[in-house]
Amino acid sequence: MNSASPGGGHPRGGDPPGSPRAREDSPSPRTPLAPRTHRAIPLFPGISRGTEDRRAMLRTAVIQVVGHLVERAVPPSQRVPLFDQALDLLDEAGWGLDELAEAAGPGCVQDELLRSLGLMRS
């Protein structure tokens, strides 16, 4: 044990050169870190709207889910791929069945629903 420093480390502090913790590629506690060069991607809870193609697929799924809820059930084998995500998206929207019934057919109420979900441009 080295008596020059408490704990037996290197006399000038830190770990002795060659020890597993004293790597040349790791910055010392006194070395300022370089600024980050990559962008942070914010994460938000909820359903991803994604690209225009994905939004179009999600619009189709939302319309199918609305019909499923207020007109007639869609068997699982006939559901579009984003059916479950569209169901979750409608749940987030908080629309009641009476409002969804009005949005079941094409028109201004359906457009309003899709706009409120971020699936149609204003």
E strands, the chain, are: none
Percent of the chain past pLDDT 70, that is, above it, reads: 58
What does the pLDDT read at residue 83? Answer: 95
Dihedral in degrees, nearest 10, Cα atoms 45, 51, 54, 56: 110
Indicate whether 5 pLDDT > 50.
Answer: no
What does the pLDDT read at residue 74? Answer: 95
Query: Are 57 and 81 within 8 A, CB to CB?
Result: yes
pLDDT, average across residues 37-53: 61
Could you state, in order of their start, the residue ranges of all structural domains in the chain? Answer: 52-116
Number of Cα atoms under 13 Å in the Cβ half of residue 93:
21
Indicate whether 113 pLDDT > 70.
Answer: yes
Phi/psi at 113 (5° precision): -60, -50
pLDDT digits (tens, 9 = 90+) for 64-103: 999 999 999 999 999 999 999 999 999 988 899 999 999 9
